[in-house]
Amino acid sequence: MNRVILIGNGFDLANGLKTSYKHFIDDFWNKKSELFQKAYNERKLIYQNDRSSHTNKYQDNDIIINDIDYYSNISFYSSSIKNGFERFLHTISAIDEILTKKIKFVNQFLSQITNKKTLQNWVDIEEEYYSALIDCQKNNGDIKKLNNDFQCIQDELQKYLSEQTAIEINYNNQFKEYFYSDFLKDDFNQLTSTVKLKKEDEVLFLNFNYTNIIQRYIDSDYSKKLIYIHGELQNKTNPIIFGYGDEIDDNYKLIENMKNNDYLKYIKLFHYALTNNYRNMLKFINEDEYQIYIMGLSCGTSDRILLHTLFEHKNCKSIKIFYHKENEEVDNFLDIYMNISRNFTNKEKMRELIISKEDSLPLPQGI
């Protein structure tokens, strides 16, 4: 018996890294606030001199703000009480409240995800991209512009996560105890007794993150494999895969039928072909029966085909959810369970494989 451990962003968060979408977008706009303040204080805004205007403007790759006047004794310090886009708005309103209404987004996808306050996970951004892709297909939009905007977000994400990866973490040994724990009788329908995880049993860490935190936990005493299924930060031989992976969605066939490869540029299916990662995963699950541990992965539809392959494979014998427990009353077990259900076509098999919450465990949190 083998074990496949799916590592998602919740694992990095549990280890103290600020790698959620909210962390990223808040940091993005906080830095934008600082850049704006610096340009204003050093009188380095762009001067407009045309028939309609003789003022200044702020412009970068993401936004433009026109008609900015210089004033003396402008205090931006109070903006530190705000965070993210709210902080940026607060910063420019220190000059003139009306400037908050004059922001023009050059990057339209940035505008879309900034205004979506309900976004929580990276899978949400990938789903937003797919939604924008569908709108582009239906309304004959500018697909090259959408892809360029999306690539800019991906570039900023790599920079931010590279900063986070450099942070030291406090190791929680409970993770290792779970990684190499025995196969419990109650986790399977066919086991008559608990089976010890032997040294020769293989453990596959399938890392959906771009960070390398999981590598610091791997025990060399056990036979193990590590696959960065979505690539690694700043690694040209294993570039990050950021996009969408649900080719059975009703709208996908319409997109494919456009016969315009720009529409397929960020479909994960094609990026998997650039490395052996996906094939190595398939080889592993074809070799022997296995149990799946889900640790910090939301199991959203942006990875539906990959997850469907893992979950409904004939060798998959058990799926165990390590859920995030906020307090005694609130956790995300059912959310993950419902997300998993969208990756199953055989619901009877789903009920057979997924371990009940009663026999599941909370994901360990940083110490």
54 and 177 co-located in one domain: no
In this predicted structure, the answer to whether residue 318 has a pLDDT above a threshold of 70 is yes
Residue range(s) defining the domain that contains residue 158: 110-164
Write the single-letter amino acid at 214. Answer: I
pLDDT band at 197 (very low <50, low <70, confident <90, very high): confident
Domain boundary among the residues 137, 164, 191 is at 164
187 and 141 co-located in one domain: no
Q: Left if phi > 0, otherwise alpha if psi is -120 to 50, otherwise beta: which for 296?
A: left
Contact in structure between 15 and 363 (CB atoms under 8 Å): no
pLDDT tens digits for 130-155? 999 999 999 999 999 999 999 999 99
227 and 342 co-located in one domain: yes
Q: Where are the beta strands (DSSP E) in the chain?
A: 2-7, 46-47, 56-59, 63-68, 103-105, 203-207, 224-228, 290-295, 316-323, 361-362
DSSP annotation string for 165-188:
HTS-----HHHHHHHT--B-GGG-
198 and 344 co-located in one domain: yes
Query: Residue with structure tokens 């892709």?
Result: 133
7 and 37 co-located in one domain: no
pLDDT score at 199: 73
pLDDT tens digits for 324-365? 998 888 999 999 999 999 999 999 999 999 999 999 999 998
List Cα–Cα distances, 9 to 12, 50, 299, in angstroms: 5, 49, 11
80 and 125 co-located in one domain: no
Quick one: DSSP state of residue 226?
E
pLDDT band at 78 (very low <50, low <70, confident <90, very high): low
321 and 202 co-located in one domain: yes
pLDDT tens digits for 212-227? 999 988 877 666 799 9
pLDDT tens digits for 245-259? 888 888 999 999 988
What's the pTM value of the predicted model, to 2 decimals?
0.92
**Domain tally for the chain?**
3
pLDDT score at 80: 65
